Amino acid sequence: MVDRLVNSEANARRIAMVENCFGSSGQPLAEQGRVLVGEGVLTKMCRKKPKARQFFLFNDILVYGNIVINKKKYNKQHVIPLEEVKLESLKDEGQYRNGWLIRTASKSFAVYAATATEKEEWMAHIEKCIEDLLRKSGKQPPSEHAAVWVPDNEAAICMHCKKTQFTVLNRRHHCRKCGSVVCGPCSSKRFVLRTQSEKPLRVCLQCYDELNREKARSNQGQTLGPGAAKAGGDGAGSGGDSSQDDDSDDDDERPVAEDKHDEPKFYGDGEKTEDNTNNHSSKETTK
């Protein structure tokens, strides 16, 4: 299905429209052999609250961004290589339904579809793209993944010391190793997590101790392998609010319009409906 779309005019046109919608805020997406497999809106669990994000699934990457004008303009583009992705289905809990985790070594987060059917479609298409990529490249799926951050509103007190209450002055921070919401004193240490950054990152005291123990064991005759954590110094002090290097798509104060729900579109089976898949045409004038 994907192979026969590689050189199609419809595929080239769709990719060009996605590039146009991101404008100068996004990177070029047209590459030899790249196919736009599907697109749609998913709810991404951000640090502060769930927010609607536009997702584009290609046969080798997953792209998402903030919605500025629905179907016309997006910004804060994020590009995730699919060969680094692992999916994990989530059970329905209260208002959070039809969700799954998108996990990579550098970043992991939860997304939610509008219906169970859409969740199945998204996950099946993503898994198929990952399977095809790994088979063609001969690579193994990654074994280490970044922690999913606990949302701010799920922690009224520090998850480490169980004492500090969060206020305007006592701000929330996230441990980059375990994803817990912690206070400044409980996350005053820094450690280099090489799968996430070459710079020392904020970690909680418990993870800092565990990482140092792992480092000590590694130093007893074994060199650090690729992707292993290594010490980045004590980094004493809280070092400011962790939101300075939080997800860049989280600090979006623009309200998302409550449009009627549009089902995601997956291309390949219905080229006869090509005109209907032209979601992002600059000629669209209806509101």
Dihedral pair phi/psi, residue 146, rounded to 5°: -65, 155
Q: What is the pLDDT of residue 268?
A: 72
For the full predicted model, state whether its pTM sits above 0.85: no
Q: What is the pLDDT of residue 217?
A: 86
Q: Which helix (H) or strand (E) holds 202?
A: strand 201-203
Q: Cα(247)–Cα(207) distance, rounded to whole angstroms? A: 21
Cβ atoms 229, 207 nearer than 8 A: no
From first to last of its 287 residues, the chain has per-residue pLDDT tens of 565 566 689 999 999 999 999 999 899 999 999 999 999 999 999 988 899 999 999 999 999 999 999 889 999 999 999 999 999 999 999 989 999 999 999 999 999 999 999 999 999 999 999 999 999 988 888 888 999 999 998 999 999 999 999 998 899 999 999 999 999 999 999 999 988 888 999 999 999 999 999 888 888 755 544 444 443 444 333 333 333 345 555 555 544 444 467 899 999 754 443 444 444 544 433 33
Q: What is the pLDDT of residue 204?
A: 96
According to DSSP, residue 161 is labeled T
